[in-house]
């Protein structure tokens, strides 16, 4: 029998897409989801909590997800920067991209004039194959086709410019709202001002309230904490040791921490404070062990396991990783009732929240913990349980994996 000759014009039959355990199509694939991670990378970007978030994602991705950092995609040619006026004028860019070059120059001038937020927009063209893009804290304009985009934001833009740079809140709001109008008109995505991607993710619940204040619809946003590693060392605490961690010593409340500890020391003569931060000031109270700036590995091996509670009287923070790292080691957190900290610390259970700048209240909370071993034990157990339930990498990957699969083709 002669085999039938296939019709070259016929479309090949496609196998039905498999369903996962929740009845969703397309999650059973022969290759992992390939995700372009457009998130700060240090270097070239500043080494901060957002860059640490990128490192943590790459080191421990959700199952069946392969991350490609934007710096690696640039090096391999899978993405390319968009044109500038200089490249367009010398014919190094196609004429069709000239309007983008003009828009880019206009935005630069507006930022220099203080009319928009200082964060520059990255203009890129995607050349490689990606199933989706995860865009975190970086404004980006995609030139040409793009895959689905998941935007994540720590909700810190508003607090950062108002608290750290001391710009009045009403002016910060005006800047963000103006940025949103310009972004919608010019077609770029901004995680805070114009999160017009396929899904929006916030680290903390306060992000949704801030979005409403800015005028962004975040009714369908998902809360997904950044996730930090679990403890890998046995506790070596002595019932009298506080821990403070902060590279930006003044902004993170380091001077207040020393003043709080002096009051604690008046009541508990053998109390100790371990400080991981920059160079010490000229006068350091007795009982302070200053170990300087150290890596996360050193914090996990030699600092957190020795502590009984985490003292963090910060002036500015959104969803600080060090607070979640402290909870991972079962350290109750003593922190001010500001910004995103009430979303991380359950007052009276996993720590204590005090009024900003109230040194006496913070010291009283620390003394109450250290003088009551039973209460300290309960708080430590609650802190560790809350970390495992809300802030672990396993929990983050569970949530983030579901988000990715909901938008990937």
Do 204 and 271 belong together in one domain?
no
Do 250 and 204 belong together in one domain?
no
Does residue 317 lie in a domain region? yes
Do 191 and 61 belong together in one domain?
yes
Which segment, 3-17, 106-120, 128-142, is predicted with the most confidence on average?
A: 128-142
Average pLDDT of the residues in 126-147: 94
Does residue 6 lie in a domain region? no
Do 274 and 162 belong together in one domain?
no
Omega of the bond leading into 44 within 30 degrees of 0 (cis): yes
Do 216 and 251 belong together in one domain?
no
Average pLDDT of the residues in 120-131: 92
Angle subtended by helix axes 206-214 and 169-186, to nearest 10: 80
Residue 27's pLDDT is 46
Residue 14's pLDDT is 36
How far apart are the C-alpha atoms of 150 and 35, rounded to whole Å?
10
For residue 56, give its domain range.
33-227+394-407
Residues in a beta bridge with 66: 34
DSSP string, 157-184: HHHIIIIIS---HHHHHHHHHHHHHHHH
Any alpha helices (H) in 98-233, and if so which ranges?
A: 98-112, 156-159, 169-186, 206-214
Average pLDDT of the residues in 315-341: 94
210: alpha, beta or left? (left if phi > 0; alpha if psi -120 to 50): alpha
pTM, rounded to two decimals: 0.85
Residue 396's pLDDT is 97
Do 147 and 287 belong together in one domain?
no
Do 213 and 338 belong together in one domain?
no
Q: What is the CATH number of the domain that holds 254?
A: 3.40.50.2000
pLDDT digits (tens, 9 = 90+) for 227-263: 999 999 999 999 999 999 999 899 999 999 999 999 9
- The tally of domains found in the chain comes to 2
- Distance of alpha carbon 265 from the chain centroid: 35
Do 381 and 399 belong together in one domain?
no
pLDDT bucket at 103, cuts 50 / 70 / 90: low
Do 399 and 320 belong together in one domain?
no
pLDDT bucket at 282, cuts 50 / 70 / 90: confident
Residue 320's pLDDT is 93
């Amino acid at each position: 029998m002669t085999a039938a000759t296939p019709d070259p014009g016929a479309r090949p039959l496609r196998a039905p897409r498999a369903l996962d355990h929740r009845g969703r199509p397309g999650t059973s694939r022969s290759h992992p989801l390939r995700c372009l991670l457009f998130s700060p990378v240090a270097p070239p970007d500043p080494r901060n909590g957002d860059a640490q978030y990128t490192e943590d994602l790459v080191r421990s991705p959700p199952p069946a997800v392969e991350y490609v950092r934007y710096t690696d995609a640039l090096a391999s040619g899978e993405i390319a920067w968009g044109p500038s006026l200089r490249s367009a004028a010398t014919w190094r860019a196609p004429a069709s991209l000239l309007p983008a070059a003009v828009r880019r120059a206009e935005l630069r001038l507006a930022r220099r004039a203080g009319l928009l937020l200082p964060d520059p927009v990255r203009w890129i063209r995607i050349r490689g194959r990606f199933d989706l893009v995860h865009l975190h804290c970086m404004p980006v304009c995609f030139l040409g086709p793009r895959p689905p985009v998941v935007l994540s934001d720590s909700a810190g833009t508003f607090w950062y410019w108002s608290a750290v740079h001391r710009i009045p809140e009403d002016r910060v709001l005006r800047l963000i709202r103006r940025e949103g109008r310009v972004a919608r008109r010019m077609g770029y995505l901004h995680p805070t001002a114009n999160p017009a991607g396929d899904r929006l993710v916030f680290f903390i619940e306060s992000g949704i309230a801030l979005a409403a204040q800015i005028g962004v619809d975040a009714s369908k946003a998902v809360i997904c904490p950044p996730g930090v590693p679990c403890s890998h060392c046995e506790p070596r605490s002595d019932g009298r040791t506080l821990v403070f961690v902060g590279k930006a010593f003044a902004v993170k409340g380091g001077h207040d921490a020393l003043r709080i500890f002096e009051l604690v020391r008046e009541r508990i003569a053998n109390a100790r404070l371990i400080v991981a931060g920059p160079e010490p000031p000229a006068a350091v109270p007795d009982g302070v062990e200053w170990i300087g700036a150290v890596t996360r590995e050193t914090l996990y091996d030699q600092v957190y396991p020795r502590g009984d509670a985490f003292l963090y009287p910060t002036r500015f923070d959104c969803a600080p990783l060090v607070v979640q790292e402290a909870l991972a080691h079962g350290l109750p957190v003593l922190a001010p009732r500001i910004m995103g900290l009430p979303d991380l610390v359950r007052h009276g259970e996993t720590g204590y929240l005090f009024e900003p700048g109230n040194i006496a209240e913070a010291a009283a909370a620390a003394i109450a913990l250290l003088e009551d071993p039973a209460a300290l034990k309960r708080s430590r157990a609650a802190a560790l349980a809350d970390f495992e339930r809300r802030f672990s990498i396993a929990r983050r990957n569970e949530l983030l994996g579901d988000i990715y699969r909901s938008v990937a083709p």
